[in-house]
Amino acid sequence: MKSAVIVFPGSNCDRDMAVALELVTGRAPEMIWHRETELPDGLDIVAVPGGFSYGDYLRSGAMAAQSPVMRAVVQAAGRGVSVLGVCNGFQVLTEVGLLPGVLMRNAGINFVCRDVSLTVANSQSIFTSRYEQDELLSIPVAHHDGNYFADSATLDRLEGEGRVAFRYAERVNGSVHDIAGILNTEGNVLGMMPHPERMVEAAHGGTDGRRLFEGLVGTIFA
């Protein structure tokens, strides 16, 4: 399996993501600098990692979305390549239009950094196939702008089409419908604020995040 991790100025979870991908796939991902205009051939997974690209200047993910490499990521998603955006990566994916809605300032106007409880809202996607429906997970968050919002029509589509992948099972940031992660229409793009790459081995305190990567690998090679 061939994967890539996009790296922006200010990214700080790119190495975490790379370690998780190598752990599960057995192959180190290619690290792609944001100024590249093309992605390597034959990619199965593209990860847009967490961090604070461009220092969250202007709006979280807004400047990173203008990076040349993101045009290639959008094109790859259109070809069916799996794309995972975590935290800042989720924000970037909404900014480039791969996912609907916006990530606003947390309702409490505070930075949230702790393990949180999630429920699996859709266990049928390529990202969630190793989880049980409504399973309770513990995954870390670390964000100031994770408050998901979309208009009522968009929310109706997300809910009606089963595109909500994860929900918060506790009060975290004020996200509408407790949304923690969503899928695109085709199901090959997932954006989520919690960090599954930080919960992939026992040393992290748990392995609930690992099954996301394992399920993705298993589905691609099924």
90 contacts 147 by C-beta, under 8 angstroms: no
Q: CA-to-CA distance for 68 and 9, rounded, in angstroms?
A: 13
Contact 30, 40 (CB under 8 A): yes
- As beta bridge partners, residue 46 has 4, 83
As annotated, the active-site residues are 87, 195, 197
- Specify the length of the chain in residues: 222
φ and ψ of 57, to 5 deg: -65, 145
Q: How far apart are CA 71 and CA 138, in angstroms?
A: 33
Question: Which residues contact residue 139 at a Cβ distance below 8 angstroms, ignoring those fewer than 6 apart?
Answer: 115, 116, 118, 194, 195, 196, 198, 199, 208, 209
Nearest Cα residue to 41 out of 95, 81, 89 = 81
